[in-house]
Structure 1
C-alpha cells in the first residue's frame, strides 16, 4: 500500500464513520464528513495533507501524489 491509497482509504473511512454516527447517534456528526471533504479539497489544491505526513512517519512507502 502506498501513502496515496492509505490517504484515500482513511478519508473514505472517516466519511462513512461520520455518516453512520450522524444516522445512529446525533445529526451533528455529519460535521465529521464535512471536515473530511473540506480537507480533501484543500489537499487537492495545495498538496498539503496532514494524513499523508502521519502515514509517511509510520513508514508507508510514498506514492505519486504525496512525496
Structure 2
C-alpha cells in the first residue's frame, strides 16, 4: 500500500502523539517524565499552524525522500 504525503503526515503525527502521551502521562506503564507532554503540545501546535499556513516541515522532508503528493487509484 502506497501512502501520499498527507497520509504520512497523519501517521507520523498520530504516532508521535501516542508515544509522547505514553511517555508523559503518569498512569501509563511507559511513563518516563511529564516533560514528554511538551512534545505532544509541539506536534499539536505544528498541525494547527500548518492548517493555516500550509507549511509543514515533514512534507518537505518526505518530498526529498520521493513521496508523492498524490497516489494513483487503488
TM-score by length of 1: 0.89
| Structure index of larger Rg | 2
Within the candidate set 57, 61, 66, 2:68 is matched to 61
Task: Say whether 1:30 aligns with 2:32.
Answer: no
Task: Report what 1:14 is aligned to.
Answer: 16
Higher relative contact order (CA 8 A, sep 6+): 1
The count of corresponding residues between Structure 1 and Structure 2 is: 63
| RMSD (CA atoms) | 0.7
Unaligned 5+ residue runs, structure 1?
Answer: none
Shift of 1:49: 0.1
Runs of 4+ displaced beyond 2 Å: none
Shift of 1:29: 0.7
Unaligned 5+ residue runs, structure 2?
Answer: 26-30
> Which has more helix, going by share of residues?
1
